[in-house]
Every structure is written in structure tokens, then in C-alpha cells.
Amino acid sequence: MSEPQEILIAGGGPVGLVTGYALAKQGIPVTVFDENDELQEDPRAATTHPATLELLGQLGVIDQVIAQGLVSPIFRFWDRPTGEMVAEFDHALLKDDTPYPFVVQCEQFKLTHILLDLIAGLDNCEVKFSHRVTGLGVTADSVSVDVETPGGSEKFTGRYLIGCDGGRSLVRKEMDIDFEGFTWAERFLVLTTPFDFEAGRGMCYRNYIADPEEWCNCFKVAGDGPPGLWRTVYPADPDAPEESLMGDDFVQNKLQNFFPQGEGYDIVHRNLYTVHQRVAATFRKGPVLLAGDASHVNNSIGGMGLNGGIQDAMNLAEKLAQVWKGDADESLLDRYDVQRRTYAKDYVQQQTIQNKKRLEAKDAQARKRSQDELRAMAADPGKARAFMLKTSMIEAMRAIED
């Protein structure tokens, strides 16, 4: 009997679909399983950094992502107690470093729709919705998954399995891979409103507002088109019950405390997220690989989680295609593990923890030092470029390629 050739992917979120499309474009047969009955209108990720835009360019979807998102060249740091704008950074300083010297604010559900449409035009990639992976088994040259389908339980067998099944990954757990790190006590509350913070408050499309009591991030996303929507993110009291944090009075007060105005806010979404900093102990165990949130999770300040996941997907698809075609041996998959796990641990975890500490610093001296540092970097084009090579994820991408 011939060996199975298919690549199986658990999870049809943004990372599963990028991986599936990138592999299928290279002629490899792929099946993606997702437990939902259709794509989710997921309001999580939006900020897509230059390093990731370059990869979306290679994948051939960059024009659609830019067309459906908001191009955002600048970002700002603010100090809430004084109301002062501390520093502004302009990606234009990266014009010689990347063809995309800007961030694109494009919601992750738009990316998944773009990819699903492209996959529909290929005959070697299938996305099976309402298919929940419930277990798996590994042999010397194949992987099988048990899948709960609308017609009952089925078994599918492939040559490799990629777990793109999110932070609670069943694939990671079934393979007994530790998810090392910690969970923050506070959750993040996200309130979305059409109120125009640019006209009303002098905000640009990406703002980080520091406050020793209660920081805030304020972003614009395109939504269904002009005028767009604004997302505000706050830390939530760890001891408060979810019902009170999500209640009408509480969310109105939250926005009014930060951004007082005469009228009530029109709040179109309210979401509460538990926040983790974790990285899987390995991204590869035999023929099973992990990518995206299944392999690493972090707080959303700086917008790096999905960026890292798309970078995993593109890195893995390139290497796995070589191995699948017999152009490289399987040790190349260990390089995927080393490169992407190093990136997640040494860069994304450190950077996102530092981003959070910068916003919430309570000690007056530490806050002053941090703000003086931001001002000094913003005032010096060389230092500002060096800072943005980090925030845009370009520096770390270059480092792991070396």
C-alpha cells in the first residue's frame, strides 16, 4: 500500500488557512479541518506589521489586505495623567528596509475570507467545516486524526499533521507538549465604537496610552468601510465578575472616564480576553508540527500574536514543501522548530511583556525614564529607525534567518 501523501491541518483560522494555501500553491494536497460551521467574524487581530506584509506579498494577497484595511504609517505614545502626546513614530523611516513602510490595520476575519476564496479555486486543498479533531495517532510514516463530522466519527490519514488549532490546541495536548509560561491576573476588555477619536481626541490609527492606574490602547480598524470603527483596550479587574465588566453601565463609564463626552457611546462590540504569555516546549514532534496560537500566545499590546503565526505558517510551508518533494531531509523541520521557537521566546514574549510594563509602570521614576527614552528615540531618526526595526518585527526576522 502506498504511503499517505496528504498534509492535514487542524484549525481553519488565519494561520491554518495561510499554511494550507501556501502549501497547496506548491502543488501539495492539503485538508484543513475546522470545528466551526463557517469562518468566524473574529474581532481579534488587526495590526499587520511590515515583516508580515512582506510575506503576504509573497503569498499574493497583499493588495487585497491593503484594500480591505487601513494603511497606518504612524503610531503614538501618550501619557494619560498629563494628557501629553509623548512621542510619535513614522514608519517612513523604514523606506529603505521594506517595501511596506507602514502597518495595515486589517481585521483577521478579512484575511480568512480572502484565503478561503483563493483556496476554493484550487483542486488540491479542501477546507472541511463542522469537522472537529478529537484525537490523533502517529505511526512511523503517517498521522491519523479522529474527526467528529456531521455524519459521525471519521478517521483521516496523512503524511504530516499541523496543529493550527489555537491557544487551547488539542493537537499540542495530545502530543503531550508543554505550554510553558504564565497567565496574567487581569483580563483585557475591548470596547469598539464608531466614535471618531481622530477628530474628537487627536488620536492617530494606533495609540498607546500609559497610566499607572489604568492604561489604554486605542486603534482604528476599517470595519465595513468608512467611517470605520475604533477599538479601545483596557486592563480589567481580576476580581470583578464577567457580568459586571460587560454590563452597560460599566462599559459606558469606562469609556467616559477615559474620553469624557456629553453623550453616551455607541458600543458595537464588547469582548473580554484572558491573557497568556506561553510558548510550546517544541514546535515539532515527529510528523506533527505546531503553528500560530497553538505554539505561542502573548498579550496583544504591540499586535504581534497573529503576525508571529503568519510568519510561522510561511516558514513552515516553505520547509515542509521541500521535505514533501524530497528536496530536503526531515531535519529541515527541526530548523523550523528552532527558528520559530527562538523568535517566539526571545523576541515576541520579551517585547510584548516590555510593552505592557511600559504602559502600566507605577513608579514615577520608571515612568519618567521610559517616557524620556521614547522622546529621545522619536527625536533622533537613527534611533527611531532602530526602534521601529524592532516594533515592525523586521529585526527579529532578519536575526533568525542568519
Ligand X SMILES: Cc1cc2nc3c(=O)[nH]c(=O)nc-3n(C[C@H](O)[C@H](O)[C@H](O)COP(=O)(O)OP(=O)(O)OC[C@H]3O[C@@H](n4cnc5c(N)ncnc54)[C@H](O)[C@@H]3O)c2cc1C
Smallest distance from ligand X to CB 30, Å = 15
Stretch of residues binding ligand X (CB under 6 A), selected from 28-36, 82-90, 175-183, 276-284: 28-36
- Reading the block at residue 392, the C-alpha cell is 515592525
Measured over the CA atoms of residue 2, residue 327, residue 18 and residue 137, the dihedral's sign is positive
Among residues 35, 97, 174, 337, the one that binds ligand X under rule CB under 6 A: 35
Following CA atoms 141, 147, 152, 155 in sequence, which dihedral angle do they give, to the nearest 10 degrees?
A: 0
Among residues 7, 162, 164, 321, the one that binds ligand X under rule CB under 6 A: 164
Stretch of residues binding ligand X (CB under 6 A), selected from 29-37, 63-71, 237-245, 327-335: 29-37
Residue in this structure with the C-alpha cell 536575526, named with its chain if needed: 399
What does DSSP assign to residue 266? Answer: -
Is 356 among the residues that bind ligand X (CB under 6 A)? Answer: no
Q: Identity (one letter) of the amino acid at 119? A: I
Q: Which residue number, 185 or 376, has a Cβ lying nearer to ligand X?
A: 185
Is 119 among the residues that bind ligand X (CB under 6 A)? Answer: no
Smallest distance from ligand X to CB 40, Å = 6
**Residues 14, 115: Cα–Cα separation, whole Å:** 8
Among residues 6, 8, 11, 62, the one that binds ligand X under rule CB under 6 A: 11
**Residues 91, 136: Cα–Cα separation, whole Å:** 45
x/- binding map, residues 278-307, to ligand X, per CB under 6 A?
--------------xx------x--xxxxx
**Residues 164, 391: Cα–Cα separation, whole Å:** 25
Is 14 among the residues that bind ligand X (CB under 6 A)? Answer: yes
Is 170 among the residues that bind ligand X (CB under 6 A)? Answer: yes
Stretch of residues binding ligand X (CB under 6 A), selected from 149-157, 163-171, 335-343, 362-370: 163-171
Omega into 4 within 30° of 0, i.e. cis? Answer: no
Starting at the edge strand found earlier in the chain, the sheet holding 30-33 runs 125-128, 30-33, 7-10, 160-163, 288-290, 284-285
Write the DSSP assignment of 373-384 as a string of letters: HHHHHHH-HHHH
Is 46 among the residues that bind ligand X (CB under 6 A)? Answer: yes
Q: Tell me which residue of 169, 395, 171, 136 sits closest to 276, measured CA to CA.
A: 169
Q: Is 43 helix (H, G, I), strand (E, B) or coil?
A: coil
Q: Which residue number, 282 or 371, has a Cβ lying nearer to ligand X?
A: 282
Among residues 4, 12, 20, 50, the one that binds ligand X under rule CB under 6 A: 12
Smallest distance from ligand X to CB 280, Å = 12
The residues pairing with 127 across neighbouring beta strands, listed in sequence order, are 32
Q: Which residue number, 75 or 367, has a Cβ lying nearer to ligand X?
A: 75
Is 45 among the residues that bind ligand X (CB under 6 A)? Answer: yes
Beta-carbon neighbour count of residue 9 at 10 Å?
Answer: 32
Is 69 among the residues that bind ligand X (CB under 6 A)? Answer: no
Q: Give me the half-sphere count of Cα atoms (radius 13 Å) on the Cβ side of residue 255.
A: 29
Smallest distance from ligand X to CB 245, Å = 14
Among residues 4, 7, 29, 47, the one that binds ligand X under rule CB under 6 A: 47
Is 44 among the residues that bind ligand X (CB under 6 A)? Answer: yes
Q: How far is CA 177 from CA 134, 171, 274, 285, 311, in A?
A: 17, 9, 21, 9, 21
Phi-psi group of 130: left, alpha or beta (phi > 0 → left; psi -120 to 50 → alpha; rest → beta):
left
Q: Which residue number, 36 or 342, has a Cβ lying nearer to ligand X?
A: 36
Indicate the residue whose CB is closest to ligand X.
13
Is 190 among the residues that bind ligand X (CB under 6 A)? Answer: yes
> Residues in contact with ligand X, total (CB under 6 A)?
34
Q: Tell how strand 216-221 and strand 276-280 pair up.
A: unpaired
Is 132 among the residues that bind ligand X (CB under 6 A)? Answer: yes
Is 32 among the residues that bind ligand X (CB under 6 A)? Answer: no
Is 317 among the residues that bind ligand X (CB under 6 A)? Answer: no
Stretch of residues binding ligand X (CB under 6 A), selected from 93-101, 165-173, 202-210, 279-287: 165-173
- Reading the block at residue 126, the C-alpha cell is 479542501
Residues lying near ligand X in the complex (CB under 6 A) are found at: 10-16, 33-36, 44-47, 108, 132-133, 164-166, 170, 188, 190, 273, 292-293, 300, 303-307, 309
